[in-house]
Amino acid sequence: MATLDLSQITKRFGKVTAVDDLSVAIENGEFFVILGPSGAGKTTTLKSIAGLVDVDGGSVHIGGVDMTRVEPYHRNVAMAFESYALYPQKTVSENLASPLKSGRTGKYSEAERAERIDQVTTTLGINHLLKRFPRELSNGQRQRVALGRVLVRPADVYLLDEPLSHLDAKLRAAMRAELKQLGAMSNTTTVYVTHDYQEALALGDRIGVLREGRLVQIGTPAELWNRPADTFVARSLGQPEMNLLDGVVDDGVVRLGDGELEVAIPDGLPVSRGDRVRVGMRPCDFHVRGSQVDTSVDVALSGHVVLAERLGRNIELTVDVAGEQLIALTTGRHGVGEGSDAVMSIARSDVHFFAAGDGDTIRLGNPYETSVEAAR
């Protein structure tokens, strides 16, 4: 295990900048998650760390040693590719043993290799597949073997490229728990990339949100959830996405929609009367009731349910509130359904305020501690 420091990493492919001035310091034994949509530069960042692509600028330090121009073989990192990268002519057992037979890991005896393989395959649930060839496995099984081939090898840094993306939902949830346990047991510095916010929140000691090759915000799951740096981060966490409504500042409130809906302005928010702002409210933070709410603690909203969609134990409601359509999640215990009126409330502390404008806009309020600038 080792620290990992990326300083101003830049990688271009022709006129396209895949990674743009990316800097982050990852602690020894930390499980760091990079979250971003397709094309954000997640895989290129991993390959830059592994040395599989030559960066155009910046440096990579592993354990305090400059590895920027060092060959991949000598960096002592282990990477799981989204495309599996298994030897088709070798069995599962032979694929898992191959990293333990060469280089720095070649010192392991047959018994030690068998013990490590048994530990990892039992955790991943593939110990009954050891004699099969990759062609005899499902996509999910191949991905677990590819992940196992990384975890079985002692390394300074593990690099995991969306290792759960081909698994079904039930197995993906189980594997998240297993990966969390594996990370705690191995105490190996890990960089994990994903487009799934649930994986990021469940696994990461810290999360870096990546957009168009740049880290927008770095922080713990709680910090990113409670204080998103901008609307891009806010919409990246949670499904359905955060409700964003444009409004105008009045005396102590922001008036939304047709002006009938108002939200109190928290103390210290740097706005003046007449300013335009964006107000964010997560669907999961709404409480749908048929009774009155305590407006000293909560923001009260009344509206009409125009659509109700059952999503397992939760119901997703589309509610028309003062001419604006808001999404809310509810368990359905209060008898609110399609075509009925609804009284919703949300804690004032769960209401987010952002600057007005087109595209993604920054959070308003005191300077957030979890921005990229603060994390450097």
Q: What is the pLDDT of residue 16?
A: 95
Instruction: Flag whether pLDDT at 300 surpasses 60.
Output: yes
Question: Tokens at residue 15, please?
Answer: 């006129």
What mean pLDDT do residues 349-374 have? Answer: 76
Question: Do 162 and 46 form a contact (C-beta atoms < 8 A)?
Answer: no
Summarize the confidence of residues 183-190 as an average pLDDT. 76
Mean pLDDT along residues 61-82: 91
| Average pLDDT of the segment spanning 51-78 | 94
- Which segments of 143-205 are extended strands (E)? 157-161, 189-194
Q: Say if residue 374's pLDDT is above 80.
A: no
Q: What is the side-by-side strand order in the sheet with 287-289?
A: 287-289, 341-347, 298-311, 314-321, 324-330
pLDDT band at 312 (very low <50, low <70, confident <90, very high): confident
Q: Note whether 225 and 280 are within 8 A (CB).
A: no
Low-confidence winner among 90-104, 200-214, 248-262, 286-300 (lowest mean pLDDT): 286-300
Query: How far from 102 is each of 43, 69, 154, CA to CA, in Å?
Result: 26, 22, 12
Average predicted confidence (pLDDT) for the chain: 87
From 29-43, 78-92, 275-289, the region with the lowest mean pLDDT: 78-92
pLDDT, residue 297, reads 62
Q: Can you tell me the distance from the alpha carbon of 86 to that of 91, in angstroms, rounded to the nearest whole number?
A: 10
What's the rounded Cα separation, in Å, for the pair 129 and 342? 53
pLDDT > 90: percent of the chain? 54
- Flag whether pLDDT at 370 surpasses 70: no
- Among 134-143, 285-294, 296-305, which is the least confidently predicted range? 285-294
Contacts of 344 (CB under 8 A, 6+ apart): 286, 287, 288, 289, 300, 301, 302, 303, 319, 321, 326, 328
Which one is predicted more confidently, 112 or 105?
112
CATH number, span 4-235:
3.40.50.300
pLDDT band at 367 (very low <50, low <70, confident <90, very high): very low
19-28, 167-176, 298-307, 352-361: range with lowest mean pLDDT: 167-176
Confidence tier at 55 by pLDDT (50, 70, 90): very high
Residue-level pLDDT at 314: 86
Amino acid identity, position 168: D
Q: What is the pLDDT of residue 201?
A: 94
Instruction: Give the highest mean pLDDT range of 23-27, 199-203, 303-307.
Output: 23-27
**Domain 242-375, classified CATH 1.10.1200.10, yes or no:** no
Among 18-32, 69-83, 169-183, 213-227, the range scoring the smallest mean pLDDT is: 169-183
Q: Which residues pair with 61 in a beta bridge?
A: 5, 66
Residue 369 reports pLDDT greater than 50: no
> Coil, strand, or helix at residue 224?
helix
Specify whether the CB–CB gap between 253 and 265 falls below 8 A. Answer: yes
- What pLDDT, on a 0 to 100 scale, did the predictor assign at position 184? 65
Q: Say if residue 230's pLDDT is above 80.
A: yes
Long-range contacts of the stretch 255-263 (C-beta < 8 A, 24+)? 256/322, 256/324, 257/321, 257/322, 257/323, 257/324, 258/322, 258/323, 259/322, 260/322, 260/323, 261/301, 261/321, 261/322, 261/324, 263/299, 263/351
Q: What is the pLDDT of residues 119-175, one digit of tens each?
A: 888 878 889 999 999 999 987 788 888 888 888 888 899 999 888 877 777 778 777
Domains of the chain: which residue ranges?
4-235, 242-375
Q: Regarding predicted confidence, which is higher, 125 or 44?
A: 44
Please give the sequence-ordered ranges of beta strands (E in DSSP) within the chain, or none if there are none.
Answer: 4-13, 16-26, 31-35, 57-62, 65-66, 77-80, 157-161, 189-194, 206-211, 214-219, 243-249, 253-256, 261-264, 276-281, 287-289, 298-311, 314-321, 324-330, 341-347, 352-355
pLDDT band at 262 (very low <50, low <70, confident <90, very high): confident
> Mean per-residue pLDDT for 302-329?
89
Q: With beta carbons less than 8 A apart as the criterion, state whether 237 and 225 touch.
A: yes
Given pLDDT bands bounded at 50, 70 and 90, which one contains residue 368? very low
Alpha-carbon distance of 338 to 143, in angstroms, equals 42
Q: Alpha-carbon distance 263 to 250, whole Å?
A: 10
